[in-house]
Structure 1
């Protein structure tokens, strides 16, 4: 299809095939570590499907609030088990961290996944009091951006949002209709308009759009489109590509975590 190469990340990242195994190994080791000390609540159901499950990691002491990380994979692959280690940065700063899985296309539509993520955040919000911060990567960046739209989250949950960080987000899903992925995504013009964050009203909650400087041009464009549409903060991180741009979430002192959690506020 016309835009297959433009939206292909792995082909342009050295050692790309090694990343999923590395992520999974790091995530499993971290879950084991937190489970031993009783700070991991694994496999919490937030819906009726077998993939509508989340892991909740707890800080050492009362939680300052809730951070939710939503994974990517073009709404087609991965689950929460690959990313647990990315909770380290927020946990070390006193925040509880939730990581949901969700149903994948073509079993469901992107609009269904949006509703599932809203439900996952709502369930977590009932477990952890205080402010809520959202981060998501790639398709997950799209999904956390969608949480800023009116009437997606319940009013009481939306009122608790204090910062949203779409990382390398797909902010306009219409171009994906010109990729072979759309055989499974099944995006049509109506859904493209309804599910693209660039067409949402600019939210009142602070947003930081984050992207790696070494990403594919279309992802630099997608990030810029959202930052301009919402007139929000926009960080282009030097030296980072689509797969390692999320590494900062695991570092309690990284610029990404500092911005996400408002440590310097």
Structure 2
């Protein structure tokens, strides 16, 4: 299943930084804000908790100052090739201020792992979190993390997930087979079919809402709308937001994104 516009250069379809002013400045800002956020939480930040035996199978768990209402899990993006949980701690601020615990897992990246293995790792992280913190489990994530968040809501995994809010998700993986990054991702037809949330059923009892920036690349708007149509769930193209700032609302407990995330 490819987008109807079928751009002759698939890599351009999924190139975000080339179309965002000051794109190269974002990672350093994210890292600085995340470090400051962790430092400010003191003992309410439980860091480097292992949910599996491998080096990147660890998560950070941030606790509110009252008994948690449940847990939000944020899965980071980076085209399954880059970044880690340490780059995104600041995005816990909104749900944390609303009384939710927030967990951020890392996972093994490509080419060391294939996407199906990453799905299994994040599922293991969710089971770990569910055993640690009582209450509802909400999963969100951005870009490739949006894909993994969406997978956590799919019926085949049988996970106790109350709600998924994929942000700018890669929901249909077939177009990525034509990109240069597939040399590391190694997507084939079988894995595309098994790991594309847009081809899988949403688990009964799990609610969903797809979020994307209105100023994102056409491919990401197509991905978001495709998932919302296949799942029959709402989608929001957030006004004026691009692929790098669409996540900023998670820092604000009163933002439309945080409100949507926590609307069980």
After TM superposition, the score normalised by the length of structure 1 is 0.95
Q: Which residue is 2:246 aligned to?
A: 245
Q: CA deviation at 1:150?
A: 2.4
Q: Give deviations 1:178-226, integer Å, cap 9, x for gaps.
A: 0000000000011011100011013331100000000000000000000
Q: Which residue is 1:12 aligned to?
A: 19
Secondary structure, counterpart of 2:104 in structure 1: strand
Q: CA deviation at 1:57?
A: 0.1
* Consecutive unaligned residues in structure 1, runs of 5 or more: none
Q: Which residue is 2:131 aligned to?
A: 126
Q: CA deviation at 1:149?
A: 1.8
Q: 1:66 aligns with which of 63, 67, 71?
A: 71
Q: Distance between the aligned counterparts of 2:141 and 2:176, measured in 1?
A: 19
Check the 8 A contact 1:203/1:230 in 2, yes or no.
no
* Consecutive unaligned residues in structure 2, runs of 5 or more: 1-7
Q: Which residue is 2:174 aligned to?
A: 174
Structure 2 residue 87 is the aligned partner of structure 1 residue 82: yes
Q: 1:136 aligns with which of 125, 141, 146?
A: 141
Secondary structure, counterpart of 1:4 in structure 2: helix
Q: Distance between the aligned counterparts of 2:157 and 2:84, measured in 1?
A: 22
Count matched residues: 256
Q: Which residue is 1:208 aligned to?
A: 209
Q: Distance between the aligned counterparts of 1:175 and 1:184, measured in 2?
A: 15
Q: Distance between the aligned counterparts of 2:134 and 2:154, measured in 1?
A: 22
Q: Which residue is 2:5 aligned to?
A: none
Q: Give deviations 1:114-155, integer Å, cap 9, x for gaps.
A: 0000000110110000111111100011001111222424xx
Check the 8 A contact 2:153/2:163 in 1, yes or no.
no
**Structure 1 consecutive aligned stretches of length 4 or more whose deviation exceeds 2 Å:** none
Q: Which residue is 1:145 aligned to?
A: 150
Check the 8 A contact 2:68/2:100 in 1, yes or no.
yes
Q: Give deviations 1:96-118, integer Å, cap 9, x for gaps.
A: 00000000000010000000000
